[in-house]
Amino acid sequence: MCGIVGYIGKQKASPILINGLMRLEYRGYDSAGISTIEPEGLVVMKDKGRVKNLYDLDGINDLKGTIGIAHTRWATHGKPSKENAHPHQDNSKLFSVVHNGIIENYNELRKFLTDKGYKFYSDTDTEVVPNLIHYYFSKDDEKDIKMRLLKAIKATCADLKGSFALEIICKDLPDNMIVVRKDSPLVIGKGDGENYISSDIPAILSFTRNFYLLNDLEYVFLSRDSAEFYDKDLNKIDKQIQSIEWDASSSEKNGYEDFMLKEIYEQPTAIRETIGAKFNENSKCEFDELNFSKEYLSSVNKIYIVACGTAMHAGLAGKNVFEKLCRIPTEVDVASEFRYRDPLIDDKTLCIFVSQSGETADTIAALKLSKERGAKTISISNVIGSSITREADYSMYTHAGPEIAVASTKAHTSQIVLLIMIAIYFAEVLGKDSKELLELKKELLELPKQIEQCLTLADTVKEFAHKIYQEKDVFFIGRGVDEVVAKEASLKLKEISYIHSESYPAGELKHGAIALIEKGITVVGIMTDPTLVEKTVSNLQEVITRGAKTLIVTNQKIDKSMFDVVVEVPETNPFLSPVLSVIPLQLLAYYISKEKGLDVDKPRNLAKSVTVE
């Protein structure tokens, strides 16, 4: 959550900072601000509301500084307001600081500083940071101001409990900036005589393709021409630059009205890129990143797939594949609950962690617990070099490209595909039925073309969206893997249309929820598993009898006359059907939100990267 941008170079900083913040708007925020080093000292400009509001602030066009920091805030401590917006300063205005994350012990630190005579002007946890830096800086007699400041920041970080990514500028060091992170994302982009800092690569991808990826408690002393790296004990370390292959234009709308619509239509490409050259119809699935032995996989007695939200739904789609192809018991857990239930993990447990951003705090915490208990860990992420990929024993990437809209679409379907491919790989290593696996791989290679067919259904979906966009409640039902799609479709509708929706296993309706079905209410049914169609049709008849309107997504032969609207997706292996059947329902949520005149890409109260627990 929140977003960080920084710049140190030869150009005027403020336009670069504001442009970077605009590229981070998808992360979710309620206020924004910048601080630059000007000839007269540090200047802070901030306000609640959208980033564009910064252009209206008096004096913002007069800023000339070539070093600055910037932030979009998502409220945790204190309501959205100008006072609570970042950047924050110490009482003497010697330091400006922006912070992503949460300081869990801020009350204790605030009391400590108040007792030392410091005053506070906001309700945020962040304001303790610049004042703590000032406290340690002012009590040190170190002659070298650079090392004095590094030591003060190190001492401050040692006091902080929680997560943080920090950018710090100092009036007494007008040509430098210091950054550090712990459990919150931060990258440095290297340019020619300039350096860019951001919480997300896409925000600065148009300026550079060369990035330094920071580990926890690595301190970076930045100038225009250099970046000096220090470990947690302030010993100098070397850091290698990594080149990012993402195309900067993929972070733009490219003629689409919204990022979400663009990303829905990018799914054929995303799936092709995720499959890559891992296999063809006649070859085994190869993962150099894993290289597991039959002996090891035979020893695994349980797989956990751990994730949050949409990524968790991808895990549910994958569970069925691991169990049926590999015959390994597989559980899917919500990351925020996983470590608090004392899960049964040992060296015979394999844990797979799924996160689009690779920065999801709950998922990272669950990963660390699993490693402590001896499990092998695999991360699945869409962001190269993200925190989760550096924590896991093995890292796997979807290749969906930057996903900007808060509501995930192409990352979700890419996650499902990658999980299926990993399950195929495991099954082949274990020596399972090669005929079944060959057929599945053949159908997997057809998915991109079949997704293109699904996208041609947009007009039918749009027409139905127009009929129901004013409704207050919608139900999604299915059986087996179709119920997983119902969960994801319900979440998408909630996220961007603010319509209350629920998903149910179709057979569970009569155990309570059918009491809510009345004349005119909309029920969406998903039917792609041929072994479960008849039973799902029976459940749908129960809601039709009670007056419900119905939208059906199916690839089976059914009596269409029973239902109001039937959307037919291509027939495929039931393992793969969640990739196809979810696409019309992504479009349904999108078009309903558009009918309501809402901000599709930036729904209220939500953030793209959930970096707090």
Q: Residues 2, 170, 285, 454: which is the catalytic one?
A: 2
Q: Is the peptide bond prior to 448 cis by the omega test (within 30 degrees of 0)? A: no
DSSP label of 325: I
Pair 260, 409: CB distance under 8 Å: yes
255: left (phi over 0), alpha (psi -120 to 50) or beta: left
The contacts of residue 217 (CB under 8 Å, 6+ apart) are 157, 180, 181, 182, 231, 232
The contacts of residue 584 (CB under 8 Å, 6+ apart) are 454, 457, 460, 461, 553, 567, 569
Pair 580, 450: CB distance under 8 Å: yes
- HEC per residue, 245-259: CCCHHHHCCCCCCCH
Q: 305 exposed, middle or buried (CB, 10 Å; 0-12, 13-18, 19+)?
A: buried
DSSP label of 53: G
Q: 126 exposed, middle or buried (CB, 10 Å; 0-12, 13-18, 19+)?
A: buried
Q: Residues 46, 182, 441, 608: which is the catalytic one?
A: 608
Q: Measure the CA angle with vertex 524, ends 522 and 529; round to 5°.
A: 160
Give the separation between CA 609 and CA 586, rounded to whole angstroms: 20
Give the separation between CA 231 and CA 237, rounded to whole angstroms: 6
Strand partners, 379: 353, 395
Q: Is 285 an annotated catalytic residue? A: no
Which are the catalytic amino acids? 2, 608
